[in-house]
Amino acid sequence: MASETAPIDHFWAVIPAGGAGTRLWPLSRSSAPKFLHDLTGGGRTLLQGTLDRLAPLTGDRVVVVTGRPHRDAVRAQLPEVSDGWVLAEPSPRDSMAAIGLAAALLERHDPDAVMGSFAADHVIADPDLFAESVRAAAAVAREDWLVTLGIEPAFPSSAFGYIHLGDPLPGHPGATAVREFVEKPSVRTATEYLATGRYRWNAGMFIVRPTVLLDLLGRWHPEFAAALRAIAADPARLDELWPGLPKIALDHAVAEPAADAGRVVCVPSAFRWEDIGDFDSLAALVGGDAAGAAVLGDASLVRAVDASGLVVPASGRIVAVVGLDDVVVVDTPDALLVTTRARAQDVKQVVAELKEAGRAELT
Amino acid sequence: MASETAPIDHFWAVIPAGGAGTRLWPLSRSSAPKFLHDLTGGGRTLLQGTLDRLAPLTGDRVVVVTGRPHRDAVRAQLPEVSDGWVLAEPSPRDSMAAIGLAAALLERHDPDAVMGSFAADHVIADPDLFAESVRAAAAVAREDWLVTLGIEPAFPSSAFGYIHLGDPLPGHPGATAVREFVEKPSVRTATEYLATGRYRWNAGMFIVRPTVLLDLLGRWHPEFAAALRAIAADPARLDELWPGLPKIALDHAVAEPAADAGRVVCVPSAFRWEDIGDFDSLAALVGGDAAGAAVLGDASLVRAVDASGLVVPASGRIVAVVGLDDVVVVDTPDALLVTTRARAQDVKQVVAELKEAGRAELT
């Protein structure tokens, strides 16, 4: 029996590194999306943190799928990942294409592979609990299930989709069938979900054998699966076939119909998970329980008088905040954002306005 | 009879250009106090605006008294003022010493002089009404009164001192005796003052013959008056005598006791006057009645979404403000301030903290 600290046999991590992160502007830019940034103040970027968490499970079996403009930055941040496994998408085609491309390549490269896809911009506080869940999920996936990790909800969030749990899966303590995936609910509905104890946050983490994933895709999108396999058979056809791939999330293309078809299993997980979608969640992450303003960066640059919220002094300048609660101040060399935690979602409006005003270089 | 547009005979403007303006940090710095800045967006600094307002009344009879560190900047901004009349104080000694020094020099230089002292950091919206008041005040001052302009209160401010009006002065329609100067009152008391119609804001504008001012000073501070006259007699003694001068405002040293002695006259004035003491008053000045955020500077740099207050984009960077009312954002190349109009007074705390933290170069 393999040790619980050794890499999982034939287990591959697939890290889709995409998404503009416009709600984290001006920290996150289209030229340097959020996964390339250290948003926790721990000295590693989100992408590096993702690798750090996975490396004990995979050894060097890591595939990163990113946009062409970011391939060099990804390689520079992840020298451990072999060059050939940093895949560059010719254009953004959502998560099914990105993860499906990795699956098609792995299907040919390692017939015994089990892959797990983990976004490059998540934060997980308990790497050991995470590893435990992934090990359990990989064991289930080896039996040809599509497995998802179900995060224990910390509160009735309306920002995440939910996994509705079904019956226990024999032979795998804790694992259950997935009855259905449900879209982001209202807080009221989320509260009802939590009261039942039968719902988990959907973090978009899928563990599956590449062939199973592509075969499931082939049931509902046969041309999509065929195109991915054609690219894997002849990578020179990437630029020819890629633009024709549907722009669709893996959740919609495969996970939801597969759940209806009884092919999805959930491994409920207790690790603390953060999807840093906006400055409100970043403030929660950085601030912890501390009073006053949380600082992401050099706290000696910040003077806060009767202020709480989040300050990011990323330009080297002094930032003074006086008499504002739950404020968000993000100071970068060419752009400054001032808002509140409550309005964090609306930052994307600024990005849209800047693009309209012909200032796309700032976005 | 002189035309109402010609300069007033023998009338000299004395402009004390001092004060750190710490409540306007980081726009105002000890190295570049507020009077050196264009705070109205009109293209002229407060100091230049003060000269523009006075030049039609004085011709080239203008004296500026400033700190030694600012003498070069003052000369650069006011090439019209003759070099010998830009006086440099060896150290800050409050307004009595600054204005008294000018008075002592003028007493010797022009025995028929009437002087008017006008701070370098005020904003006056109606230069014609201002000129009319100064002409009236100069005519009274020539009869050996200490004359002050009494600003019609726009609202019951607790930020200004008040002038309590007495009986009319025969021969000068509108002019009245000053019963007393009263310190900054509570809003409740100020409201009572306004209801009587017998109170005016004290803007610290005094029009007086130099000899009258120094003789009045001599009644309560004989050594002070003697020292000022000794410096005027031998300017080489400035560095020797200056450090011994009391640090006291002209209001306390002369105006208040002179009012008790029945020697002060008020010329009530209808011009709109702004003492830009902090970002709240600056916001009122810049914003006028406009909805949304007022911008001092290049408005194309500001993106405001559901925001009101004041934004000063003085570093050339984009400033985005989302979902904050009455916010104040002041963006300079080496320091950023975020506060609210209501907390504008507390900005000086930041300056004090920076000094304590050994960052005086930023203050």
Report how many Cβ contacts below 8 Å link chain A to chain B: 117
| B181: pLDDT strictly greater than 70 | yes
Task: Check whether B19 has a pLDDT greater than 60.
Answer: yes
Mean pLDDT of A196-208: 97
Does residue A351 form part of some domain? yes
What are the helix and strand counts (H, E) for chain B? 12, 17
CA separation for the pair A136, A145 (Å, rounded): 12
Q: Which residues of A188-226 are buried (b: 16+ CB within 10 A; e: fewer)?
A: eebeebbeeeebbbbbbbbbbbbbbbbebbbeebeebbe
Based on the domain organization, do B257 and B286 belong to the same domain? no
pLDDT digits (tens, 9 = 90+) for A265-304: 999 999 999 888 899 989 988 885 556 899 999 999 999 9
Q: How many residues does chain B have?
A: 363
Q: Which of A252, A275, A298 is the last residue of a domain?
A: A275
3-state secondary structure B207-239: EECHHHHHHHHHHHCHHHHHHHHHHHHCHHHHH
Residue holding tokens 């998970």? A273
Interval B75-96 mean pLDDT:
96
Cβ-contact A100, A217 below 8 angstroms: yes
H or E element at residue A258: helix A256-260
What confidence score (pLDDT) does residue B285 get? 86
- Residue window 19-38, chain A: list those with CB within 8 Å of chain B: 26
Q: Are residues B39 and B133 in the same domain?
A: yes
pLDDT at A5 over 90: no
> Has residue B310 got a pLDDT over 90?
yes
Question: Quick check: bond before B26 cis, omega within 30?
Answer: yes
Domain membership flag for residue A2: no
Query: Do A291 and A186 sit in the same domain of this protein?
Result: no
Whether the pLDDT of residue B58 is over 50: the answer is yes
Closest CA to A159 of A128, A198, A115, A204: A204
CA distance A304 to A311: 9
Q: Is A261 on the interface with B (CB under 8 A)?
A: no
CA B39 to chain centre: 14
| Total length of chain A | 363
Residue type, B13: A
Single residue among A257, A275, A293 that ends a domain in this structure? A275
Those of residues 134-193 in B touching chain A at CB distance below 8 A are: none
Kindly state whether residues A223 and A136 are assigned to the same domain: yes
Domain of residue B285 covers: 281-362
Check pLDDT > 80 for residue A20: no
Buried b (16+ CB within 10 A) or exposed e, A316-345: ebbbbbbbbebbbbbbbeebbbbbbbebbb
Q: How many Å apart are CA A58 and CA B264, to the nearest integer?
A: 89
**A353 touches B: beta carbon within 8 Å:** yes
Interchain contact, A26 vs B320, CB within 8 Å: yes
Same domain (yes/no): A171, A30: yes
Whether A68 has a pLDDT exceeding 90, the answer reads yes
Confidence band of A218 (pLDDT split at 50, 70, 90): very high
* CB spacing of A335 vs B317 below 8 angstroms: yes
Are B154 and B194 in a shared domain?
Answer: yes
Q: Are A232 and A318 contained in the same domain? A: no
Q: Do A254 and A290 sit in the same domain of this protein?
A: no
Cβ distance A23 to A276 under 8 Å? no
pLDDT in tens, B274-308: 888 899 989 988 875 556 899 999 999 999 999 99
3-state secondary structure at position A328: strand
Q: How many domains does chain A have?
A: 2
Whether residues B231 and B285 fall in one domain: no
Please report whether residue A270 resides in a domain: yes
| Claim to verify: residue B303 and residue B347 sit in the same structural domain | yes
| Pair (A50, A167) in one structural domain | yes
